[in-house]
């Protein structure tokens, strides 16, 4: 009887595998490409504008009132895009900037395009000064070139050109930019509060998050428009181990640092958080399966209904980024013990940075860590924490609009929905917008990805015209909402 059962199960497995095999064989092979602009006039014009914006140092510093510095940056924007500020309403909220372009149909909920003005510090040895905006070999160098003054430049340029063309938008269009994104400050919340005070609910919001990336995972080549569906939550936990202290010449067992080390080892070696494939990740794998150069990888990605149990334990070796989309992650980033080499600390601590996933959010994830910490006589406290954002509906109109605009402007690029593992200003807009699209329409290669917050940050000038055209299409496609 047991042999019959085993034989039957094997038969079912074989049948399912054959179904997956046939489904994969009939897939149309596709290539994903990005074609940069060759319009020299536009490329040079846009590069010069972005260079001038980079030359305004806009590092945000926690705890300092820097509104005047950012207003100087506003003056630069105003000088570069005179038609925008001639025909649109300007709203300054403590250095955070909103521009309102009035539409024809006030009954339609407006859209908002946002990027942040502020940048991180620029220490270290740069090839070109970080606030020089140097243009060389077809690239613009400087802090903020890629993260993310390119966004501000391109959507302002899009509106500037549409106004010059005599275009009038169907709905109100807002251009927003906070000045505290890099420090998680109150800039974006102030913009949100302004929208609430004026009873404005957005139809859709467009922010940074994903961009057009190359070779997203091993075995999949090409250029893919990575559309952020939602972003993970964020938390900093402090874990403290205490003792009576003492001299290191007579060491006790289970000292604070030893307990912290054992706790960290436990977290690092055991899978304490639950892995789960979301609709966004399922769709991401199914989309990129079409572009896989490896048949067996294509077989697995296109048939996740069958291969998920196999993919789960090995996904980290395929892509660390993809693995982070399946679960809450934890990383230990700071630590402190005693101030003396021969002193047993009365208190030692570490900071753990968590990024919460929707199926195991802030409360559950923190409780898991806290319960494990108790086993090592470690106290847990929350420094800061916010849960996951709302998810963009993969069947909704804003998502389809985004795909339509990408397909029109970048016809050969692949489409890749994904989960944003970092943080953006978008997370503050959930109360005024149900459709936050985290996509920046710039091609960014792997070298440039490393430059964000790193040395020699730069962006290729020839990707700027495509980004301008994308923002123009996002504004124009709102005309379809009147039907």
Q: What is the mean pLDDT of residues 23-41?
A: 89
The Cβ of residue 16 has, within 10 Å, a number of other Cβ atoms equal to: 13
Q: Where are the beta strands (DSSP E) in 366-462?
A: 378-386, 414-420, 436-443, 458-460
Q: What is the Cα–Cα distance from 321 to 418, expressed in whole angstroms?
A: 10
- The DSSP output letter for 482 is G
Q: What is the mean pLDDT of residues 387-394?
A: 94
Strand order in the sheet with 329-336: 329-336, 347-355, 234-242, 378-386
Q: Exposed/middle/buried for 439, CB within 10 Å: 0-12, 13-18, 19+?
A: buried
- Per the rule left: phi > 0, alpha: psi between -120 and 50, beta: everything else, 30 is beta
Three-class SS of 307-353:
HHHHHHHHHHHHCHHHHHCCCCEEEEEEEECCCCCCEECCEEEEEEE
444 or 10: which carries more pLDDT confidence?
A: 444
Q: What is the pLDDT of residues 310-350, one digit of tens each?
A: 888 888 777 788 889 999 999 999 999 998 999 999 999 99
Q: Is the pLDDT of residue 97 over 80?
A: yes
Q: What is the pLDDT of residues 214-226, one digit of tens each?
A: 998 888 899 999 9
Q: List the beta bridge partners of residue 352.
A: 237, 332
Match 């494990």 to its residue by tokens: 372
Q: Exposed/middle/buried for 274, CB within 10 Å: 0-12, 13-18, 19+?
A: middle
To 5 degrees, how large is the angle CA 193–CA 184–CA 62?
110
Q: Is the pLDDT of residue 483 over 60?
A: no
Least confident interval from 33-37, 214-218, 263-267: 214-218
The pLDDT-based confidence of 1 (bands split at 50, 70, 90) is: low
Quote the pLDDT of residue 4.
60
Q: Exposed/middle/buried for 269, CB within 10 Å: 0-12, 13-18, 19+?
A: exposed
Q: Is the pLDDT of residue 412 over 90?
A: yes
pLDDT, the chain, mean: 93
Return the closest-CA partner of residue 373 out of 257, 253, 262, 274.
262
The pLDDT-based confidence of 7 (bands split at 50, 70, 90) is: low
To 5 degrees, how large is the angle CA 147–CA 150–CA 156?
135
Averaging pLDDT over each range in 69-78, 213-222, 288-297, which range is the top one? 69-78
Q: In a 3-state reduction of DSSP, which class is residue 93?
A: strand
Domains in the chain with CATH codes: 40-209+394-482 (3.40.630.10), 233-274+328-387 (3.30.70.360), 275-326 (no CATH)
Q: List the beta bridge partners of residue 237.
A: 352, 382
Q: What is the Cα–Cα distance from 148 to 471, expressed in whole angstroms?
A: 15
The pLDDT-based confidence of 280 (bands split at 50, 70, 90) is: confident
Q: Where are the beta strands (DSSP E) in 157-222?
A: 173-177, 204-214
Match 């160098």 to its residue by tokens: 141
pTM of the model: 0.92
Quote the pLDDT of residue 19.
79
Quote the pLDDT of residue 5.
64
Q: Is the pLDDT of residue 117 over 90?
A: yes
Instruction: Count, in order, helices (H) and strands (E) of the chain.
Output: 15, 17
Q: Exposed/middle/buried for 314, CB within 10 Å: 0-12, 13-18, 19+?
A: exposed
Match 């020089």 to its residue by tokens: 132
Q: Max CA-CA distance within the chain?
A: 84
Q: What is the pLDDT of residues 121-134, one digit of tens each?
A: 999 999 999 999 99
């Amino acid at each position: 009887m047991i042999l019959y059962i085993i034989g039957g199960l094997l038969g079912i497995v074989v049948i399912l595998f054959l179904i997956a095999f046939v489904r994969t064989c009939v897939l149309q092979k596709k290539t994903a490409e990005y074609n940069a602009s060759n319009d020299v006039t536009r490329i040079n014009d846009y590069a010069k504008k972005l260079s001038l914006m980079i030359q305004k140092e806009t590092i945000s510093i926690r705890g300092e009132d820097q509104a005047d510095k950012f207003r100087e940056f506003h003056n630069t924007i105003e000088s570069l895009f005179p038609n925008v500020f001639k025909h649109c309403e300007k709203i300054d909220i403590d250095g955070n900037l909103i521009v309102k372009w009035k539409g024809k149909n006030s009954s339609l909920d407006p859209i908002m395009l946002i990027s942040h003005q502020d940048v991180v510090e620029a220490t270290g040895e740069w090839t070109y000064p970080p606030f020089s905006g140097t243009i060389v070999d077809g690239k613009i160098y400087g802090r903020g070139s890629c993260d993310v003054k390119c966004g501000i430049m391109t959507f302002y340029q899009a509106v500037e050109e549409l106004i010059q063309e005599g275009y009038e938008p169907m709905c109100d269009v807002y251009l927003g930019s906070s000045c505290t994104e890099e420090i998680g400050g109150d800039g974006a919340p102030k913009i949100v509060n302004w929208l609430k005070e004026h009873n404005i609910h957005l139809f859709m919001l467009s922010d940074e998050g994903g961009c057009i990336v190359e070779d997203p995972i091993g075995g999949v080549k090409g250029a893919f428009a990575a559309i952020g569906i939602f972003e993970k939550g964020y938390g900093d936990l402090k874990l403290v181990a205490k003792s009576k202290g003492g001299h290191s010449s007579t060491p006790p067992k289970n000292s604070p640092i030893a307990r912290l080390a054992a706790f960290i080892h436990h977290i690092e070696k055991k899978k304490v958080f639950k892995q789960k494939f979301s609709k966004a990740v399922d769709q991401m794998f199914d989309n990129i399966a079409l572009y896989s150069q490896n048949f067996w990888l294509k077989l697995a990605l296109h048939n996740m209904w069958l291969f998920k149990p196999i993919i789960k334990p090995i996904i980290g070796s395929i892509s660390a980024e993809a693995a982070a989309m399946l679960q809450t992650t934890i990383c230990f980033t700071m630590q402190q013990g005693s101030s003396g080499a021969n002193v047993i600390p009365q208190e030692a601590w570490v900071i753990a940075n968590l990024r919460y996933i929707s199926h195991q959010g802030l409360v559950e994830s923190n409780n898991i860590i806290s319960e494990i910490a108790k086993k090592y006589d470690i106290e847990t406290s929350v420094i800061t924490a916010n849960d996951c954002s709302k998810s963009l509906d993969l069947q909704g109109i804003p998502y389809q609009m985004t795909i339509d605009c990408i397909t029109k402007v970048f016809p050969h690029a692949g489409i890749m929905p994904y989960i944003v593992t970092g943080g953006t200003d978008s997370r503050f807009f959930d109360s005024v917008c149900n459709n936050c699209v985290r996509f920046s329409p710039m091609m960014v290669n792997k070298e440039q990805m490393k430059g964000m917050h790193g040395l020699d940050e730069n962006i290729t000038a020839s990707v700027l015209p495509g980004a301008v055209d994308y923002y123009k299409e996002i504004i124009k496609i709102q005309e379809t909402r009147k039907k």
